[in-house]
Amino acid sequence: MKVAFFSNFLNHHQYPLCEGFLKNKNIQFVFVACSKIPSERVKMGYKDYTNHSFVVKEYEEKEVAEQIATTFDVCIFGANCEKYVELRMKKNLLTFRYIERIFKKGKWRYLIPQVRRKIKKQYLQYKNRKFYILCASGFTSSDLAFCGFPTSKCLQWGYFPEQSKHTFDVLLRKKTNSDLRIIYVGRLLKLKNVDSVIKAFRIVSKHRNNIRLDIVGDGPEASHLKKLASKRKNKIYFHGYKSIEETRQIIETSNILVLASNFYEGWGAVVNEAMTSACIPICSHSVGSAPVLINDGSNGFIFHKGNVKQLATKIDTAVENIYGDNSISLNAYNSIKTTWNANVAAARFYELCLDMLASNETKNACFQKYDNGPCSLAKNFSNNWYKKN
């Protein structure tokens, strides 16, 4: 089976999935990079993977990219690939779009004529063809259903960063810090609501003096957040950008990760990275991975976006579990180990495509193979899926 993955550029969140495809001797796999890696991402510690033999540089080999798009058995399309989707759909070949949600700014945007035209062009015109969606957000299916795209053609997907190479017991031994370590990892942008993390930490630190907050990343909100953190003596530390390896090391020595983003957060791959590192994730309900990756109170925690007191309570509960039986850390670790990883995603995708190609399937009968995780039928989560109280 020939499988191609088209996207803007290959990053460390997609690379393990590519490895998963390459391990399968029955798959001839290529990644088509449609643009060079932006300098901003390089400064953030992103690697350049374009020299790998399975990578085709579309911006240098357009004819090769066109041939792949029109001849391969299966193609997955991410960002910046619209012209190749159109070429492939003219032949009605098995095609998957890998997308986050389309209404990060709200469904009201569907009232804008140019937005409606774009959605019709990219999705609705193909709804009766061999065209399917890989949902890299819990909200993708709901957004598409709002526009009239059939949810029966939407598969749950996500991002699949590298799994930890350590066992759970080894990871626990790496977390023997003098202070219990809470972290935020990501760019310092308004949409990330890092101020909520700082405020919640302050509430908890009033009755717990053995905790610290590490903020890894940089951005336009850095100055404001540092002023907010300095208003009272706190164990809050700003580390700036770190390399991918350094960031993973910090996560592996940490106990709790908090991601308080608004609905602009497509998936939040750092949540996967935390879970595979036996680090308890605490996410706002608006993070794209929260509805599908986290079982509240079992393998992590969810709080209503902007509810600082609720976030503080969830942090407190996580701390108690860490000092207790550490069951939530273990469940988080096992969620990635058994289900939400690149190898499982690649294997399931291959089996699904085998069935679809063999039966010439154009509906969702093949989508009943898996009850949850990658390649299961996506559920519809609206913005208000998680009750505020």
Q: Same structural domain for residues 199 and 328? A: yes
Say what the pLDDT of residue 360 is: 65
Average pLDDT over residues 201-209: 94
Query: Is the residue at 381 inside a domain?
Result: no
Model pLDDT for residues 148-201, shown as the tens digit of each residue: 999 999 999 999 999 999 999 999 999 988 899 999 999 999 999 999 999 999
Query: Is the residue at 264 inside a domain?
Result: yes
Q: Same structural domain for residues 315 and 346? A: no
Confidence of residue 38 (pLDDT cuts 50, 70, 90): confident
Structural domains counted in the chain: 2
Which H or E run contains 95? Answer: strand 95-99
Average pLDDT over residues 49-66: 93
Query: Is the residue at 113 inside a domain?
Result: yes
Q: Same structural domain for residues 119 and 249? A: no
Q: What are phi and psi of 301, to 5 degrees?
A: -135, 150
Residue in this structure with the two tokens 């592996």, named with its chain if needed: 252
Average pLDDT over residues 86-114: 95
Say what the pLDDT of residue 200 is: 97
Query: Is the residue at 151 inside a domain?
Result: yes
Query: Is the residue at 208 inside a domain?
Result: yes
Q: Same structural domain for residues 276 and 355? A: no
Q: Same structural domain for residues 123 and 89? A: yes
Q: Residue 362 pLDDT > 60, yes or no?
A: no
Q: Residue 370 pLDDT > 80, yes or no?
A: yes
Largest CA distance in the chain: 65
Residue in this structure with the two tokens 């109280």, named with its chain if needed: 389
Model pLDDT for residues 246-303, shown as the tens digit of each residue: 999 999 999 999 999 999 999 999 999 999 999 999 999 999 999 999 999 999 999 9
Q: Same structural domain for residues 50 and 187? A: no
Query: Is the residue at 130 inside a domain?
Result: yes
The larger pLDDT score, comparing residue 362 to residue 259, is at 259
Model pLDDT for residues 219-229, shown as the tens digit of each residue: 999 999 999 99
| 7: three-class secondary structure by DSSP | strand
Say what the pLDDT of residue 366 is: 65
Residue 356's domain is classified under what CATH number? 3.40.50.2000
Tell me how far apart the alpha carbons of residues 37 and 210 are, in angstroms, rounded to a whole number.
41
pTM over 0.85, yes/no: yes
Query: Is the residue at 386 inside a domain?
Result: no
Confidence of residue 49 (pLDDT cuts 50, 70, 90): confident
Q: Residue 69 pLDDT > 80, yes or no?
A: yes
Q: Same structural domain for residues 225 and 239? A: yes
The larger pLDDT score, comparing residue 13 to residue 303, is at 303
| Average predicted confidence (pLDDT) for the chain | 94
Q: At what angle do helices 194-205 and 222-229 cross, to 10 degrees?
A: 10
Q: Residue 327 pLDDT > 80, yes or no?
A: yes
Which H or E run contains 216? Answer: strand 211-216
Q: Residue 388 pLDDT > 70, yes or no?
A: no
Q: Residue 364 pLDDT > 60, yes or no?
A: no
Domain boundary, last residue among 337, 352, 376: 337
Q: What are phi and psi of 55, to 5 degrees?
A: -95, 130
Burial of 51 (0-12, 13-18, 19+ CB in 10 A): exposed
Q: Same structural domain for residues 212 and 354? A: no
Q: Same structural domain for residues 20 and 151? A: yes
Q: Same structural domain for residues 332 and 344? A: no
Say what the pLDDT of residue 375 is: 96
Q: Residue 115 pLDDT > 70, yes or no?
A: yes
Query: Is the residue at 375 inside a domain?
Result: no
Structural domain boundaries, residue 107: 2-161+339-368
Q: Same structural domain for residues 189 and 289? A: yes
Q: Same structural domain for residues 263 and 305? A: yes
Confidence of residue 50 (pLDDT cuts 50, 70, 90): confident
Q: Residue 146 pLDDT > 70, yes or no?
A: yes
CA 260: distance to chain centroid?
14
Say what the pLDDT of residue 365 is: 59
